[in-house]
Copies of this chain bind each other. A is one copy, B any other.
């Protein structure tokens, strides 16, 4: 595990550098690596990810996410302000990243990609003060390509700037989209990572080509993305449901070979019972935060179920 050496971006003013460091430590469990518990699917997929075949009944209640985050020992919960506003008082110890935009999966995507901010950064600053919670940063989903690219780039550019002005950390989801775009293509994914760097984000969440069969080579090729991101750190999306062992191997390989700085996980966690999710989260945390290998992590997983 590398010692935590924070390169504070110059857009953070002198007077907010300590605040930024504090937030960065809370965001990354004092490790520089990020374990993002993604909780924005209530908007992105309505109730489809939370209720139905193969989903634990515990997942029907939004509080399930908070319980998992607490059980993860180190994960940061990224979700919309409403959930934090309603449950935060009972989960005061968690670090939160407030997702500032979102869209549903109903109707034509192109028309909705104009994801505007639901709350301004100023609102979040005030919310942190009002709530007394560990709000450590902001998140935003950016779709490249398409009718609203210009609007989204301008919106997130300004939001990141204002977040840094306040000492917040930032993470953006970057997804190139378009009829000619292969969303699993590493070269394209790397391009999105570079845009996140141009926008001054601290972290970027991007896709990972889990479908590839040559998994070691894929991780090597994925270095293109982590290098293109420069000093912006990369976390990959968790991918679709698959055996825990494979999932842990992918995660370890991403960090060790591809050079990512953590992982984001949503459905793969919250669709499980709290006991299962806790075991998986702790196993992932051992890789992300403590440098364990996949085998060790799998043992942790099995010991906790």
Copies in the assembly, this chain: 5
Residue A1 at the chain B interface, CB threshold 8 Å: no
Q: Are A131 and B10 in contact (CB under 8 A)?
A: yes
Complex-state Cα separation, A106 to B188, whole angstroms: 10
Q: Determine which of B42, B191, B201, B224 lies in contact with A195 in the assembled complex, contact meaning CB atoms within 8 Å.
A: B42
Q: Is the CB of A112 within 8 A of B150?
A: yes
* Residue A278 interfacial (CB < 8 Å): no
Interface bracket on A: 35 or more
Instruction: Tell me how far the C-beta of A139 lies from the nearest C-beta in chain B, rounded to whole angstroms.
Output: 13
Do A230 and B85 touch (CB < 8 A)?
no
Q: How far is the CA of A114 from the CA of B150 in the complex (A)?
A: 6
| A120, chain B: closest CB distance, angstroms | 7
**Extra contacts besides A42-B191, A46-B194, A51-B224 (16): CB < 8 Å:** A9-B86, A11-B130, A13-B126, A43-B194, A47-B193, A48-B191, A61-B227, A63-B230, A80-B198, A82-B201, A101-B154, A107-B146, A107-B179, A111-B147, A118-B153, A126-B165
A interface residues (Cβ-Cβ under 8 A, vs B): 7, 9-14, 40, 42-43, 45-48, 50-52, 60-63, 79-89, 101-104, 106-107, 111-120, 123, 126-127, 130-131, 133, 144-151, 153-154, 157-158, 160-161, 164-165, 176-181, 187-188, 190-201, 224, 227-228, 230-232
Most interface-central of A82, A177, A191 (chain B CB within 10 A): A82
Shortest beta-carbon distance from A148 to chain B in Å:
8
Give CA–CA (A136, B83) in the complex, Å: 22
- Which of chain B's residues has its CB closest to A12's CB? B130
How far is it, in angstroms, between the C-alpha of A195 and the C-alpha of B9 when the chains are bound? 34
Q: How far is the CA of A112 from the CA of B194 in the complex (A)?
A: 18
